[in-house]
Structure 1
């Protein structure tokens, strides 16, 4: 069986790709993919299910791309990242055409992280752990307290 050619859209198309994937899988499976950090546990669970179901990387390519787009979109919505088209060096390093740039300027590879988690199945490759230990996330704004006016 030949390699399945599933191409990621450019950075400008990733938000739409993630949204279409979420619509497709939540309609069929009623999965709680709500772009929350906690929903990354669901991504880990789905990847484990794909592995246990015997899917190989080629057969799962479209699903892996959708899950990678979803993970990247969680970084965009929750960590202050933005989608970027990778330059030639980053494409060589990541093996992917797009990534996310964090507020501190670092570029991360959510598509590759999803593929690694699928291929390894290792708990240390958890997508939720990836988010929680990710460098360069935007810090939540400090809560302002209201001063009592005397």
Structure 2
């Protein structure tokens, strides 16, 4: 029903790759508890949530996204509000950085922040959550599909990706996509 992004190891020409059940066996998602769920209790998720009720492993991407918002506000005088429309501005900013010829090493942290920002938009608007696998951060949408917004920001810098389109794909219904 949903599309997912390319994996970490190899970046295919298309960022959308469907993942079947068990495609990421080492993914460890930490989730919040509903009534009745508790750590160590059989049948519960057995993980700890952060102070804001979000998974504890979402802390790093949230911090990276907040840093990107602050950098855009203070450095470029651009306001980012975690809306889907704001991803247009992020894509344009990455494109401008690329056109200026900045070396990847110089913008790697900024791209990570832009990717985390894009992932957080997906989390907020498409009903996803941050998960971590092998040191990499992914967004898992409610239907179990995985997205790699950090890699999508890198692909955008290479002229091949778009955080706006990633978000659009994560939020769209899969009917038209599954019949292609």
Instruction: Tell me if TM exceeds 0.5.
Output: yes
Q: Which runs of 5+ in 1 are unaligned?
A: 1-9, 92-96, 138-150
Query: Do residues 127 (structure 1) and 167 (structure 2) align?
Result: no
Q: Deviations over 1:61-93 (max 9, x none)?
A: 01111101111111111111111111x4xx6xx
Q: When the two structures are superposed, what TM-score results if normalisation uses the length of structure 1?
A: 0.70
2:63 matched to 1:27?
A: no
Write out per-residue CA displacement over residues 80-137 of structure 1, whole angstroms, 9 at most, x where no aligned residue: 1111111x4xx6xxxxx11111100111100001101111x24xx2221221122678
Is the helix fraction higher in 1 or 2?
1
Alignment partners' CA distance in 1, 2:171 and 2:73: 30
SS of corresponding position for 1:37: coil
1:52 maps to which residue?
Answer: 99
Task: Name the Cα RMSD after superposition.
Answer: 1.9
Aligned residues of 1:104 and 1:136 also touching (Cα < 8 A): no
Deviation at 1:28, TM superposition (A): 2.5
Q: How many residues align?
A: 117
Normalized against structure 2, the TM-score is what?
0.59
Secondary structure of the residue aligned to 2:138 is: strand
Q: Does residue 84 of structure 2 align to residue 84 of structure 1?
A: no
Quick one: distance in 2 between partners of 1:55 and 1:18?
A: 21
In structure 1, how many angstroms separate the alpha carbons of the residues matched to 2:84 and 2:171? 15
**Residues in 1 aligned to 2:100 and 2:165: alpha-carbon distance in whole angstroms:** 23
Provide runs of 4+ in structure 1 moved above 4 Å: none
Q: In the alignment, is the contact (CA less than 8 A) between 1:12 and 1:83 conserved in 2?
A: no
Which residue is equivalent to 2:35?
A: none
Match of 2:137 among 85, 98, 103: 98
| Matches of 1:102 and 1:19, distance apart in 2 | 21
